[in-house]
Amino acid sequence: MSRIKELFQNKKNILSIYYTAGYPGLNDTVNIAEALEQAGADLLEIGFPYSDPVADGPTIQASSKQSLDQGMTLKLLFEQLAALRKRVNIPVLLMGYVNPLLQFGVENFCKACVEVGVDGCIVPDLPMAEYEELYQTIFEENGLSNIFLVTPQTSPERIRKIDGLTNGFIYLISTSATTGQHLQVSEDTESYFSRITAMKLNNPTMIGFGINSKETFDKACQYANGAIIGSAFVKALDPNDLNGSIKTFMQKFKQ
């Protein structure tokens, strides 16, 4: 059974952490993964940086830029991740924009993921139709999950279609916004989450965007299998005390 499937079968209130590869230090990528697992993270999303990250707010833009300035590339990332499965057991996804992936070659990318033990990916600007037509077979042949995003404006028909196309989980974006803002669970947000629950989808769900505290994490867990923290974690990373800052950050969510 895949690592992702096993996780969702055995666990509730799944805590997933996003961070940018090659940040704060170029070679911190696997160290952070290991420290996060030890501090209680259930799932990791490692961002491969892109020069023009339109869906991201200032924090992830800045971490991406620093990582690129330090020399990060997809090729280098896969070299770093060669050590991943010696040190990390929890499922790992790669998250990034479509252009670096296209230049690397989708098939090469999928093969490299399998080789280093990455379980799937999230590519926010890869459209469903293009995925279905051009890339779905390659992903499935390699046993990789491709995770799609759903927003409060996504229609029920489209959500059903996404549910049929993916085999990991569905990434529910809390509000239509870029990353790094604060989740406010209004009546609208609540009815959006409830609407998704009522659809009884095949895939589990995770809520992301705006999760930055124990309170917002717990709130999100009421409506989904877990939640994803990104910007708040990236902001908390202290280059001078990487492990310490990770531990301190994670403790807040593990109380």
Partner 1 sequence: MSYFVNDKGYYGDFGGAYIPEMLYPNVEELRQNYLKIIGDESFQKEFHQLLKDYVGRPSPLYLAKRLSKKYNANIFLKREDLNHTGAHKINNTIGQILLAERLGKKRIIAETGAGQHGVATATVCALRGLECVVYMGEVDIERQAPNVARMKMLGAKVVPATSGSKTLKDATNEAMRDWINNPVDTHYIIGSVVGPHPYPDMVAIFQSIISEETKKQLIEQTGNDQPDYVLACVGGGSNAMGMFFHFIDDENVKLVAVEAGGKGVDTGFSAATTFLGKEGVLHGSRSILMQTEDGQVVEPHSVSAGLDYPGIGPQHAHLFKTGRGQYVSITDDEALQAGLLLTQMEGIIPAIESAHALAYLEKMTFTGKENVVVCLSGRGDKDMDTYMKYFNL
Where on the chain is the footprint of partner 1 (CB under 8 A)? 50-55, 57-58, 61, 65, 68, 73-75, 97-104, 124-127, 129-130, 148-151, 153-154, 158, 173, 176-178
CB of 176 or CB of 222, closer to partner 1: 176
Q: Smallest distance from the beta carbon of 231 to partner 1, in angstroms?
A: 13
CA distance 92 to 223: 23
CB of 11 or CB of 75, closer to partner 1: 75
CA distance 98 to 202: 26
CB of 6 or CB of 52, closer to partner 1: 52
Active-site pick, 37, 42, 45, 119: 45
CB of 179 or CB of 253, closer to partner 1: 179
81, amino acid identity: L
Q: Smallest distance from the beta carbon of 149 to partner 1, in angstroms?
A: 4
Q: Smallest distance from the beta carbon of 235 to partner 1, in angstroms?
A: 16
- Asked whether the beta carbons of 234 and 23 are under 8 A apart, the reply is yes
Q: What is the DSSP letter of 45?
A: E
List beta partners, residue 141. Answer: none
Q: How far is CA 94 from the centre of its chain?
A: 7
Task: Check if 45 is active-site.
Answer: yes
**Which of 114, 109, 95 lies closest to 206 in space, CA to CA?**
95
CB of 60 or CB of 118, closer to partner 1: 60
Q: In what order do the strands lie in the sheet with 14-20?
A: 145-147, 120-122, 92-95, 43-47, 14-20, 226-229, 205-208, 170-173, 149-150
Task: Name the burial class of residue 244, with classes exposed (0-12), middle (13-18) and buried (19+) by CB atoms within 10 angstroms of its CB.
Answer: exposed
Q: Smallest distance from the beta carbon of 90 to partner 1, in angstroms?
A: 26
Active-site pick, 28, 37, 42, 56: 56
Q: Smallest distance from the beta carbon of 50 to partner 1, in angstroms?
A: 7
Task: Check if 69 is active-site.
Answer: no
Residues 6+ apart with CB under 8 A from 118: 81, 84, 92, 93, 94, 144
Catalytic amino acids?
A: 45, 56
